[in-house]
C-alpha cells in the first residue's frame, strides 16, 4: 500500500517520518513517500493516481486549494477551509477531498493546553490558508467569537464576510484591544519561522487563564510560546497539530488508527534538532 505527501518544497516535510513509523509499528506492508510535482504538475499527479493504486495523498503548500478544486467530492471541513490537506483515491476513480488540519488543531489545544474552543473569544493572527482552516475548525467546535488580526486587512475582511458575524477584524495596531478578555490566541501566520521575519506580539493584555498556540513548529518553542510560558499561560505547539492532522489521514489511507505505542513526537523532535 502506498500513500504520500505532495508539496513544493516537500523535502523537509515530517509526514514521511511520521507515517512510516506508524506503518512499521502497525506491521502494515506499506510505504509513505514525498512527491514534489512542478508548480503546474499537481493536476497530472492527481489524475495519474486515480483508481486507488496509490491510496491517498496529504497535500501541503502550494497545492491545498487546487487539491480541493480537483476533487470529485469534498467534506464540509475541506469546503469550509477552502482547502484540502487530504485526498483519497477510490477504486471507482473518484477523488475525495478532506481537511484534517482542524482535527489536528483541536487535538493540540485539547491535549497540550486542556482547551475547548467554546471557552470564549479567540484571537487568530493571520488570514491565509492556515487561518481559514483554523477559523472553520474553531467555529465548528463552538467558538463564540473569532477576532482576526492580519497585516492585510482586506484578506481578513474577506474571511469575516465568508464566515459571518461571529468573526470580527482588528488591525495589528489594535492587537492589545483584541486580546482583552480573550480565551486564546493562535498564531496562524508564517511569522516566527526559523530564518524568517519575527512575530512581534506583546501578550501582556491576555487574561491569565488564556491559552496560546503557535502553528509554526520550526523552532518548536517559538518566541511566542516562550513568552506565553514565561507569563504562566498554557501553550500548545505546531508539532502537536501536525501529528494531530496526520492521525486521521493515516486511518483514511490504511483503514486503521495509528498504533498508540509509537512515539512519533519523539522521532519528530529528533528530526527537528538543528544538526539532524
Ligand atoms: P499563507 O502564505 O497562506 O499565509 C501567510 C500568513 O502570514 C498571512 O496571514 C500573511 O499576511 C502573514 N504574513 C506573512 N509574512 C508576514 C509579514 N512579514 N508580516 C506580517 N504578516 C505576514 O500561509 P499558510 O496560511 O498556509 O501558513 C501559515 C503558517 O502556518 C505557516 O508557517 C505554516 O507552516 C503553518 N502551518 C502549520 C500547520 C501545522 O500542522 N502545524 C498546518 C498548516 C500550516 P498577509 O495576508 O498580510 O500576507
pLDDT at residue number 274? 75
Report the residue count for the chain: 276
Cβ of 242 less than 6 Å from ligand 1: yes
- Is the preceding peptide bond at 206 cis, omega within 30 degrees of 0? no
What the block records as the C-alpha cell of 24 is 512499521
Beta carbons of 148 and 185 less than 8 angstroms apart: no
Beta carbons of 13 and 85 less than 8 angstroms apart: no
Mean pLDDT calculated for residue range 123-151? 96
- For the chain, what is the largest distance between any 2 Cα atoms, rounded to a whole number of angstroms? 55
What the block records as the C-alpha cell of 135 is 477559523
Smallest CA separation from ligand 1 atom 1, residue? 128
Catalytically annotated residues: 64
Q: Is 230 helix (H, G, I), strand (E, B) or coil?
A: helix
pLDDT digits (tens, 9 = 90+) for 90-106: 999 999 999 999 999 99
Report the half-sphere exposure of 254 (CA within 13 A, side-chain side).
Answer: 26
pLDDT at residue number 273? 86
Q: How far is the CA of 154 from the centre of ligand 1 (A)?
A: 15
Cβ of 102 less than 6 Å from ligand 1: no
Mean pLDDT calculated for residue range 48-69? 96
Cα gap 198→105, rounded to integer Å: 22
> Measured at the alpha carbon of residue 74, what is the angle toward residues 26 and 43, in degrees to the nearest 5?
85
Give the DSSP letter of residue 258: P
In this predicted structure, the answer to whether residue 275 has a pLDDT above a threshold of 80 is no
Q: Which atom of ligand 1 is nearest to the CA of 129?
A: 25
Q: How far is the CA of 191 from the centre of ligand 1 (A)?
A: 7
**φ and ψ at residue 203, rounded to 5 degrees:** -85, 5
Cα four-point dihedral sign 225, 229, 235, 240: positive
pLDDT at residue number 34? 98
Q: How far is the CA of 242 from the centre of ligand 1 (A)?
A: 15
Q: Residues near 249 by Cβ (< 8 Å), separated by ≥ 6? A: 19, 56, 58, 85, 86, 100
State the pLDDT confidence band at 276, using cuts at 50, 70 and 90.
Answer: low
Q: Which atom of ligand 1 is nearest to the CA of 131?
A: 25
pLDDT digits (tens, 9 = 90+) for 175-217: 999 999 999 999 999 999 989 999 999 999 999 999 999 999 9
Cβ of 188 less than 6 Å from ligand 1: yes
Q: Ramachandran region of residue 118, left (φ > 0), alpha (ψ -120 to 50) or beta?
A: alpha
- Ligand 1 pocket mutation pick from 189, 195, 217 by most atoms within 8 angstroms of CB: 189
Beta carbons of 276 and 270 less than 8 angstroms apart: yes
Q: Which atom of ligand 1 is nearest to the CA of 152?
A: 47
Q: How far is the CA of 1 from the centre of ligand 1 (A)?
A: 33
The per-residue pLDDT of the chain, averaged, comes to: 96
Amino acid at each position: 500500500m502506498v500513500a504520500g505527501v505532495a508539496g513544493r518544497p516537500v523535502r523537509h516535510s515530517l509526514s514521511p517520518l511520521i507515517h512510516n513509523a506508524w506503518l512499521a509499528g502497525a506491521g502494515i506492508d506499506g510505504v509513505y513517500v514525498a512527491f514534489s510535482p512542478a508548480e503546474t504538475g499537481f493536476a497530472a499527479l492527481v489524475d495519474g493516481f486515480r483508481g486507488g493504486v496509490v491510496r491517498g495523498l496529504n497535500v501541503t503548500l502550494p497545492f491545498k486549494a487546487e487539491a480541493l478544486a480537483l476533487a470529485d467530492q469534498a467534506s464540509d471541513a475541506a469546503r469550509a477551509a477552502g482547502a484540502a490537506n487530504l485526498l483519497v483515491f477510490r477504486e471507482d476513480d473518484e477523488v475525495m477531498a478532506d481537511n484534517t488540519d482542524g482535527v489536528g488543531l483541536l487535538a493540540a489545544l485539547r491535549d497540550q493546553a486542556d482547551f475547548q474552543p467554546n471557552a470564549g473569544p479567540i484571537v487568530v493572527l493571520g488570514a491565509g490558508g492556515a487561518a481559514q482552516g483554523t477559523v472553520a475548525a474553531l467555529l465548528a467546535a463552538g467558538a463564540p467569537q473569532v477576532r482576526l488580526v492580519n497585516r492585510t486587512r482586506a484578506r481578513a475582511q474577506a474571511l469575516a464576510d465568508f464566515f459571518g458575524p461571529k468573526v470580527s477584524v482588528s488591525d495589528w495596531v489594535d492587537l492589545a484591544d483584541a486580546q482583552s478578555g480573550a480565551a486564546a490566541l493562535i498564531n496562524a501566520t508564517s511569522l516566527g519561522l526559523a530564518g524568517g521575519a519575527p512575530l512581534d506580539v506583546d501578550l501582556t493584555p491576555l487574561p491569565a487563564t488564556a491559552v496560546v498556540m503557535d502553528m509554526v513548529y520550526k523552532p518548536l518553542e517559538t518566541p511566542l510560546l516562550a513568552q506565553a510560558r514565561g507569563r504562566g499561560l498554557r501553550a500548545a505547539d505546531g508539532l502537536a497539530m501536525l501529528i494531530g492532522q496526520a492521525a486521521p489521514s493515516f486511518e483514511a489511507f490504511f483503514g486503521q488508527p495509528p498504533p498508540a505505542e509509537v512515539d512519533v513526537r519523539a522521532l519528530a523532535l529528533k528530526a527537528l534538532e538543528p544538526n539532524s
